[in-house]
Chains A and B, each alone.
Chain A
Amino acid sequence: MIGGKDKSSIIQMFHVHKHYGSKKALIDITLNVSKNDFLFISGPSGAGKSTLLKLLYLGEPVSEGQVLVDGMNLSRISRKRIPPLRRKFGIIFQDYKLISTKTVFDNVALVLEASGKKKKFIEKKVKSVLRTVGIEQRINALPPSLSGGEQQRVAVARAVVGSPKIILADEPTGSLDSDSADIILNLLKGFHTHGGTVIVATHDKELIRKSGERILYLKQGRLLGPTPI
């Protein structure tokens, strides 16, 4: 859905621009994402997909325009409210961003510790989520000892463990084989089935084709709307 306004909107962007000095990364983006949408943002490398995701969790500030996330206006948000904003998201990165010195359990538990949950609850919830993503047998392993697919499953577990409203996945299957990519896609679909909103930035056409979900196409920083794969 582009440029529309929906009662159940969870993300709205109005004429958003992002530039790094003279380089324009995003140009006049207007976008509306409804609750429980599963949305792919596609486009070639350097099109601005990652930048667009970063604007949503304030990984980068907007240069111009307005971004609303679950009723929070990001251009007026105070520094203290950034952590609560980020807890609305579960973020999955292509390079996993796992803490290499912490075990699988500790990496996933970090999200719940940061939101002040009790130890018993954390233990129960983390084990349950690791079971769901099929990696419970590696609970005490350190990330460098895991395969790429396993690491990405840990990243998915970390993204969903805090029961966020939205999952942002930035090239989640970029460095995975086809089987591992399928597992990740199914985990994301599972989250979506349970009422979550999912936004995936990818240039993996195979992944988009398999999912059958809606796509927005970005080219040179401009949103071109749905495009056939």
Chain B
Amino acid sequence: MATYYHRAIQDIKDNGFLSATTIITIALSILIVSAFALFFTNANDIMNYWGKGVRIMAYLKPDTSQKNFPDIKREIQGIYGVQDVNFISKEEAFKRLKEQMKRQSSILMNLNENPLPDAFEIRMTASSQGGEKVEEIATKIESLPSIEDVEYGQKWLERFTNIFDLFRLAGYAMGGIFFMAAVFIVANTIRLVIYTRREEIEIMRLVGASEKFIKSPFYIEGIIQGTLGGIIGIAALFITFKLISSSVEHSFKYELLNIRFLSPEFYCGIILCSMFVGWLGCYISLKQFLKA
């Protein structure tokens, strides 16, 4: 094994330019794929965070009698997953609206009467803050006879989820493309190394060297290139992340959200994947060009 390892290192040194090209290509592929993974990890955190802040607004029908309000509140509170329910009268809602629209107050001045309905503001328990669970609670509330309409920021969340899914899909596609590109480049490098060493390989065969003896150094070479490419790619991403994360965190500081780097398990997985790329490129090349 030490002989194979020694020969693989020697090959990398002898074909310095080719090896460097391969390592850089793998590093760039890993960098791009991991950058996508980093984006998704943090975007997912943000989505979850925003999801947790979702409240349901249940608007009452205009003809609902005030004396029924406590019963309706009780009914809503009885729904599984509801934590607390606040009544917001239409006067209170109008007051809030005026505060929010200070600059456009002239629009509201011209109104003869308050157009806003009475409403309940509903918060969910921690375990019921997922998208589907909120939707389920909202449907139950909407089915109550006194409720005219229900709103819970679902549409923009759905829209964002759709864009997020689109990005995820693009990420998978790019990951696949970069994986294939890296495999192709490794395969080509090994092919060129085999070509430059074809005479040596022929001599090895003539003196009775086994296929394992001939091929093992190439596999080790591919795996070394893959590992180095993976480590360099992850290191480059980490440095870039450190450089830009402080400014990004500043934008989110009011949201108490921390931007985080990939987990150790994840980047170890990426480096393993990168080693696999090196091995696979080598396998393809050897299969094509080193037929006994």
A residues sitting closer than 8 Å to B (CB atoms) are 57, 59, 79-80, 82-87, 89, 91, 97-102, 110-111, 113-115, 158, 162
Verify if B206 is at the interface (C-beta below 8 Å from A). Answer: yes
Nearest opposing residue in chain B for A159, CB measure: B207
The residue from A84, A89, A114 contacting B204, defined by CB atoms under 8 A apart: A114
Bound-complex Cα distance A84 to B213 (A): 13
Least CB separation from A59: chain B residue: B206
Query: Can you report 5 A-B residue pairs in the complex whose CB atoms are below 8 A from each other?
Result: A83-B209, A97-B203, A97-B206, A101-B14, A114-B210
Q: A99-B200, A101-B200 are in contact. Are A57 and B206 (CB under 8 A)?
A: yes
Q: What 1/0 mask marks residues of chain B from 265 to 283 whose CB sits below 8 Å from any chain A CB?
A: 0000000000000000000
Residues of A within 8 A of B199 (CB): 97, 99-100
B206 near A87 with CB under 8 A, answer: no
A103 to chain B, nearest CB (A): 12
CB-CB < 8 A to A86: which residues of B? 205-208
Shortest beta-carbon contacts, A-B, top 7: A87-B208, A114-B209, A86-B208, A83-B210, A83-B208, A111-B207, A99-B200
**Cα distance, A115 to B209, chains bound together (Å):** 7
- The smallest C-beta distance from B128 to any residue of chain A, in angstroms, reads 64
Q: Do B3 and A113 touch across chains, with their CB atoms under 8 A apart?
A: yes
C-alpha spacing A210/B187, complex, angstroms:
53
Interface code B88-121, partner A: CB below 8 Å = 1, 0 otherwise? 0000000000000000000000000000000000
Size class of B's contact patch?
10 to 19
Q: Which of B122-179 contact A (CB under 8 A)?
A: none
Bound Cα distance from A87 to B207, whole angstroms: 6
| A99-B199, A99-B200 known; A110 vs B207 contact (CB < 8 Å) | yes
Given A99-B199, A99-B203, A110-B203, decide whether A79 and B292 contact each other with a Cβ distance below 8 A.
yes
Q: A79-B292, A99-B200 are in contact. Are A115 and B208 (CB under 8 A)?
A: yes
B292 and A114 contacting across the interface, CB-CB below 8 Å: no
Q: B residues engaging A (CB < 8 A)?
A: 3, 14, 199-200, 202-211, 213, 292
CB distance from A89 to the nearest CB of B (A): 8
Q: Give A91 to B207 CA distance when docked, in angstroms.
A: 7
Kindly state the separation between the CA atoms of A85 and B208 in the bound complex, as whole angstroms.
7
Which chain B residue lies CB-closest to A100? B199
Complex Cα distance, B13 from A101, in Å, reads: 13
Say how far B7's CB is from chain A's closest CB, in angstroms.
Answer: 9
A110 near B204: Cβ-Cβ < 8 Å: yes
Assembly CA distance A85 to B209 (angstroms): 10
Closest Cβ of chain B to A4, distance in Å, is 29
Contact B203 A84 (CB under 8 A): no
